[in-house]
Structure 1
Amino acid sequence: MLKTAFNHYINNFKGFTREIWILTLITFINRAGTMVLPFLSKYLKEDLHFSYNQVGWIMVSFGLGSMLGSWLGGKLSDKIGFYKIMIFSLFTTGISMFLVQYITTFLGLCAAMFVLMAIADMFRPAMFVSLGAYAKPENRTRALTLVRLAVNLGFAAGPALGGLIIMGMGYSGLFWVDGASCILSISIFALLVKEKKKTDHGDKTESASNTKSVFHDKIFWVFLFVSFVTAMIFFQLFTTLPLYHNEKYGLSELQTGLLMTLNGLLIFALEMPTVGFMERKAFPKIRIIIIGSFIMAFSFILLMINIWGGILVISMICISVGEILTFPFSNAFALSRAPRGQEGRYMALYTMSFSLAHIISSKVGFEIISDFGYQINWLFMASIGIFATLCCIWIKKALLQEKK
């Protein structure tokens, strides 16, 4: 029984090209090496002694740079190819990481973080487009999921390694290791993977029938709004929820960490088999996103039941299931929606929706909590999640109309 279940799980990892496995490896190395990010606000506050207001502005610069980088990466991927953008982005980011540790003034760091993230996040849309080139059409969603798995595992390993490096080498050690991991991962990629021109998707059932500009694709813009909202409520997991755990239920950092670990374990154990099953059964991507966005919204309705600590575990399971259903298929929908030759632009806007959500999520959440309390914040997040679900239903109907 166990052996059969294990074989079924392993089968979900079969059928990928060599290039996809190398992309997965370099993504893991890069994300595991991204140790500066979890400690950035701590570094700015405790090591450089900036005020909370200054830290906030540096993080805003960080987010704005991320948005610009996402757009540039997508646009340039369409112009000169994803391969060159990926190599330029990670190699230059590595060098920049070595240098940015020597900048210690407020204005200098605002500028440095903006430029650094503009270069670093050119990589993300280019990498998404590369999956379209190197993955087989029939397992493109699973390939996206495999890379997501590498990102999650890398993020799980990164903070622990970062803590050890700070203890042994101080904060400067983070910049050296982060920069080195960027250069190492892209060197492996350049040595082992040859440039390949983007081929047709072979999966255009949900694509626009013509090649009009992305700015005239109404369905895609509604989809971007859905992506923004689901990302915004998901990011509450890392901003308002840890504080709520402590203030309402008195949970320690360890207990909050264990709840976060539950999310990571569920993603690791269930995402690839779920995507594999949905792909084999050929479920429409938008239908899966509808279910996922509703479950994510429902997880915040559960948080409003604030008389029993066990509800935190149930809510975490729901938001994890919502994440499993929403994010991999959102990635795949965005890529399949793009007309040939515009994949970079579409993936750039998709990536930017997450960057914008990252900037706004904590600000909105903390403002609502400050003025009205946690319960109203959970109600707000649940409400916009349900509205996003209704938008998905509209997209589903619009897609049917488009095919007629």
Structure 2
Amino acid sequence: MSAVAIDTAAPTALPRAFWALWVCQLVNRLGSFVQPFLVLYLTHDRHLSAGTAGAVAAAVGAGSVCAQLVGGWLADRAGRRVTMLICFFGTGAALILLGSARSMALIWVTAFLVGLLSDLFRPAVQATVADLLQPTERVRAYGLLFWAINLGFSVSTVSAGVLASFGYGLLFWVNAATSVIAGLVIWMMVPESRPAPEEDSVRRALLPVVVRDTVFLLMILIQIGYATIYMQGYSTLPLAMSDDGLSSRTYGLVIALNGVVIVLVQPFLGRWFVKLDRPKLLAASMLVVGLGFGVGAVVHSWWGYAMSVVVWTIGEIGFAAVIGAVFADLAPVDLRGRYMGLSGMAFGVGTVIGPLAGTNALEYLGPTVTWLGCAVLGVVIFIGQYSLAPALHARAAANAATA
């Protein structure tokens, strides 16, 4: 990977509002117990089949897909702050409803609402960071947010595994409480950052701009492929480990390695990543994620699965460090929230496809084919992303010249 020119001056202090977002992300993830254990909860407590549980998890993903569009639109029209407040307070209520749902109809509806409300904040947060910071500071800022998320995640997965052994219901209540606390942080410490439109400006519709943006559309397709692979860690992996006789507590400890590796490694890799070619780093990171899940084809013990998690986590660190900055560089200022929403929607589409494809492949084709499929898809999206590197550089340069 070739190095790119960067500003070697000492990094400037990040604004107070950014650090409030950092705290919000940390608190929210400290209690994010439900998603990693949703499939196990549905199969063990609600006695649903693996395919049905995967479909419910996909309903959460479907809500996430809608959330990206709604959240991006709200962030641009109503404001970033309002969007985040709706997200966190609404998610708390939706989680309580999902945890108390008994009928399948209510489970489906509340699962969709959890996905819809919990992901409204993503385009708003991404847009707020782009509003507050110059392009040279964005990789650092997005990396710090990613680190905060996983600092909380590394704690939540271990504690959730222990709490789950006493019953899954408690997970929903704690998750809801931390979501409300995160909303209070936004309420007290994060002002509105949406740029004020110029007096003579005309509000542009999103669709006519996007359909002509070929580079952006190809990036969306690649992100869907990446998310499809990544979601196996929270849908197929726990079932595969259970089939190998490993407990839910073991899964909690193994998946917690994802957060632990990120917390320990990301600050060091982040300093190196800013010196690298971003599109090519993105391509290599996606490849590592695919190959990391491919390791699952040859392992059946806890330490084998742990090794797989460590490998794909390294790839995830690279992906998360630059993906937000790449999309921020691509987005027109007046459509920034909606562009970020479409980026998140692509990931949401993958959260729908991933659980459905992975759990059904595991059930009907077996673990070897399932994990090898992840590796093959990783190679495919690596080739696609690497091929887009020149076009992405040209777009970033053009946007910087007109900023």
Instruction: Specify the TM-score bucket, using the shorter chain as the normaliser.
Output: 0.7 to 0.9
Aligned to 2:317: 324
In 1, are the aligned partners of 2:161 and 2:248 still within 8 Å (CA)? no
- Residue 183 of structure 1 corresponds to 180
Letter paired with 1:277 = W
- Cα deviations across residues 347-373 of structure 1 (Å, max 9, x unaligned)? 112112222222222322333344443
Displacement after TM superposition at 1:265 (Å): 2.5
8 Å contact kept, 2:157–2:256:
no
Instruction: Check whether the contact 1:65–1:114 (CA below 8 A) recurs between aligned residues.
Output: yes
TM-superposed CA distance for 1:104, in Å, is 2.5
CA contact (8 A) 2:286 2:381 kept: yes
Question: Which consecutive residues of structure 2, in runs of 5 or more, have no partner in the other structure?
Answer: 1-9, 198-206, 399-403
Overall identity of the aligned pairs, in %: 26
**Paired residues of 1:130 and 1:198 also in contact (CA < 8 A):** no
Change (3 A) 1:360 1:78: same
Q: Does the Cα contact within 8 Å between 2:284 and 2:315 map onto a contact in 1?
A: yes
Equivalent residues of 1:70, 1:348 under 8 A apart: yes
Determine the C-alpha separation between the residues in 2 that align with 1:93 and 1:123: 10
CA distance in 2, matches of 1:97, 1:19: 27
C-alpha distance 335-180 of structure 1, shift in aligned 2 (>3 A): same
CA distance in 2, matches of 1:379, 1:173: 36
2:229 corresponds to 1:236:
no
- 1:162 positional shift: 4.0
Superposed displacement of residue 329, structure 1: 1.0
Please tell me whether the aligned partners of residues 132 and 199 of structure 1 are also in contact (alpha carbons under 8 angstroms): no
- Which of residues 89, 102, 105 is equivalent to 1:104? 102
1:26 and 2:24 correspond:
yes
C-alpha separation in 2, matches of 1:365 and 1:328: 26
Question: How far off its partner does 1:87 sit?
Answer: 1.2
Q: Identify the match of residue 391 of structure 2 among 395, 398, 402.
A: 398
Structure of greater relative contact order (alpha carbons < 8 Å, 6+ residues apart): 2
- In structure 2, distance between residues paired with 1:380 and 1:232: 11
Match of 1:7 in 2: none
Structure 1 unaligned residues grouped into runs of 5+: 1-11, 201-210
SS at match of 1:216: coil
Letter in 2 for 1:129: A
SS of corresponding position for 2:211: helix
- Alignment-mate amino acid for residue 125 of structure 1: P
Distance in 2 separating the partners of 1:100 and 1:348? 25
Within-5 A mapping of 1:303-342: 315-342=308-335
Question: How big is each residue's C-alpha offset from its partner over 1:140-172, in whole Å with a ceiling of 9 and x where there is no partner?
Answer: 11211111122222223224444565677x655
Partner of 2:381: 388
28, 32, 35: which one aligns with 1:37:
35
1:9-41 Cα deviation digits (max 9, x unpaired): xxx998322222211111111122233333434
User: Displacement of 1:43 after TM fit?
Assistant: 4.0
CA distance 1:267–1:102, shift in 2 (3 Å): closer
Q: 2:86 aligns with which of 85, 88, 108?
A: 88
Q: Which residue number in structure 2 is paired with residue 217 of structure 1?
A: 213
CA distance in 2: counterparts of 1:371 and 1:46, whole angstroms: 20
Q: 2:273 aligns with which of 237, 253, 278?
A: 278
Q: Hey, what's the Cα distance between the residues in 2 that align with 1:79 and 1:91?
A: 20
1:295-353 CA-to-partner distances (Å, cap 9, x unmatched) read 23333555556699986565444322211112221122112211111111111121122
Separation in 2, partners of 1:167, 1:228: 34
Q: Deviations over 1:80-107 (max 9, x none)?
A: 2211111122122223444555543221
Residues 140 and 270, structure 2, Cα contact 8 Å, conserved in 1: yes
- Distance 1:78-1:367 versus aligned 2 partners, 3 A rule: same
Question: Quick check: 1:260 aligned with 2:272?
Answer: no
Query: Could you tell me which amino acid in structure 1 is paired with residue 187 of structure 2?
Result: A
SS in 1 for 2:333: coil
Instruction: Tell me the secondary structure at the aligned position of residue 341 of structure 1.
Output: helix
Alignment of 1:367-382 (within 5 A): 367-382=360-375
CA distance 1:97–1:322, change in 2 (3 Å): closer
Residues paired across the two proteins, number = 380
Partner of 1:208: none
Is residue 133–residue 199 contact of structure 1 (8 Å, CA) maintained in 2? no
Aligned-residue CA RMSD (Å)? 3.4
> Measured at CA, do residues 31 and 308 of structure 1 come closer, stay the same or move farther in structure 2, by a change above 3 Å?
closer
TM-score, length basis structure 2 = 0.81
Partner Cα distance (1:237, 1:136) in 2: 34
**Matched residues in 2 for 1:171 and 1:370: separation?**
24
Contact 2:87 2:119 in 1 (8 A): yes
Q: Give the corresponding residue for 2:59.
A: 61
